[in-house]
């Protein structure tokens, strides 16, 4: 048995504990910045490594359940992504590449900050944004739909359930039997989908169970979770995709302290948002509404970008941290804010929203 097969078996048997370790290491990475020299780089490297490992774990968990044909509760976002991944190898490749880049981009920029000149650092950032633009345009061309964040499926299988009957069956490839030697599972004659026995649903409410089943049946096709884009909506989506690259290219030309990159980015993003808002109707799907709200929140990042940050936000944060100095619990939060302030000021991807 290969090392990867051994690790896969180990993961499926100890997934609940591994998930706890992932969470603990992520929490540790939040408290490293400012603790020692290059602690911010170590923190970002640890965070990126854990997230890369988690992506691999997610793939193993999903494949284990899917190989047995056992249905499980899936979010709308994941249902949409899984559909397109199965329909198009191009979408799968672009989505996976985009997810991997977004996982490590902060670490790459911080390493460039410490090893390269300022000009070369922005060359690296521009190259990363250019690749992301290409990947997102590929996704738009193949799906004719808006891009989503995250670009790929999130973990929607609770690792703690791996010891329970439904997912234990997934590990055993649907091989369990009852006392008479008959399979405990029912496999649909037409669809081939495997259903777990009723006893595995103990402790789960009827409402939750029925809701999990209705998610996939609410639309004729998972692709309908996002409506195909009209021409005006496509223009707005392309502008949204291009905005980060436009911003970075203007920073390379005028510098981060100039108002020109900030103003140009804000105008492009506002136009894109208005195009999207014009197409938001009462019939908009929940997934479209969630993405629209997320993009509205992205405007808050402008408060953390120079020169607006230097002129307004930095003074407000400094005053807040100073006022919390003598308040025990709030002081801890203020210290975390102070530890992360240098990162907001020097690392583009922390506030890019891309």
252-266 pLDDT, tens digit each: 999 999 999 999 999
Backbone phi and psi for residue 51, each to the nearest 5 degrees, phi listed first: -70, -35
pLDDT at 103: 95
DSSP three-state, residue 141? helix
Residues in the chain where the model's pLDDT stays below 70: 15-16, 28-37, 68-72, 158-220, 282
DSSP three-state, residue 194? strand
Rg (CA), the chain: 23
Domain boundaries, the chain: 163-220
pLDDT at 348: 96
Long-range contacts of 52-59 (CB under 8 A, 24+ apart): 52/100, 52/103, 52/104, 53/22, 54/22, 54/155, 55/99, 55/100, 55/103, 55/152, 57/11, 57/15, 57/18, 57/19, 57/22, 57/155, 58/153, 58/154, 58/155, 58/157
- The answer to whether 164 and 12 are in contact (CB under 8 A) is no
Estimate to the nearest angstrom the gap between the alpha carbon of 228 and the chain centroid.
Answer: 22
Q: Tell me the CA distances in angstroms from 205 to 40, 105, 270, 293, one per residue in order.
A: 44, 41, 43, 30
How does pLDDT run across 70-124, given as a tens digit for each residue? Answer: 666 788 999 999 999 999 999 999 999 999 999 999 999 999 999 999 999 999 9
Evaluate the omega torsion of the peptide bond into residue 239 and state whether it is cis, within 30 degrees of 0: no
Count Cβ atoms below 10 Å from residue 149 Cβ, excluding itself.
15
pLDDT at 344: 85
pLDDT at 338: 85
Residue 305 DSSP class = S
Point out which residues pair with 177 in neighbouring strands.
Answer: 183
């Amino acid at each position: 048995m290969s090392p990867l097969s051994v690790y896969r078996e180990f993961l499926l048997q100890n997934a609940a504990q591994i998930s706890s370790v992932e969470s603990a290491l992520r929490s540790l990475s939040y408290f490293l910045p400012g603790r020692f020299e290059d602690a911010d780089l170590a923190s970002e490297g640890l965070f990126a490594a854990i997230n890369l490992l988690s992506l691999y774990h997610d793939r193993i968990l999903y494949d284990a359940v899917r190989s047995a044909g056992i249905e499980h509760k899936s979010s709308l976002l994941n249902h949409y992504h899984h559909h397109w991944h199965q329909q198009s190898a191009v979408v799968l490749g672009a989505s996976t590449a985009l997810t991997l880049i977004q996982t490590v981009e902060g670490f790459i920029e911080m390493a460039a900050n410490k090893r390269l000149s300022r000009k070369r650092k922005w060359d690296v950032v521009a190259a990363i944004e250019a690749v992301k633009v290409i990947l997102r345009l590929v996704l738009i061309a193949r799906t004719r739909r808006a891009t989503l964040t995250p670009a790929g499926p999130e973990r929607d299988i609770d690792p703690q359930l791996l010891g329970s009957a439904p997912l234990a069956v997934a590990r055993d490839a649907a091989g369990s039997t009852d006392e008479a030697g008959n399979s405990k599972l029912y496999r649909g004659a037409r669809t081939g989908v495997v259903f777990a026995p009723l006893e595995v649903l103990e402790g789960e409410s009827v409402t939750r169970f029925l809701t999990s089943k209705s998610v996939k049946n609410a639309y004729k096709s998972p692709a309908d979770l996002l409506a195909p884009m009209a021409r005006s909506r496509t223009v707005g989506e392309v502008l949204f995709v291009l905005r980060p690259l436009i911003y970075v290219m203007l920073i390379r030309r005028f510098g981060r302290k100039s108002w020109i990159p900030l103003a140009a980015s804000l105008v492009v993003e506002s136009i894109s948002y208005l195009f999207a808002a014009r197409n938001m109707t009462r019939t908009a799907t929940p997934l479209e509404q969630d993405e629209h709200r997320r993009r509205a929140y992205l405007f808050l990042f402008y408060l953390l970008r120079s020169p607006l940050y230097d002129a307004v936000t930095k003074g407000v944060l400094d005053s807040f941290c100073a006022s919390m100095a003598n308040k025990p619990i709030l002081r801890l939060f203020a210290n975390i804010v102070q530890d992360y302030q240098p990162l907001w000021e020097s690392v583009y991807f922390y506030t890019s929203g891309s």
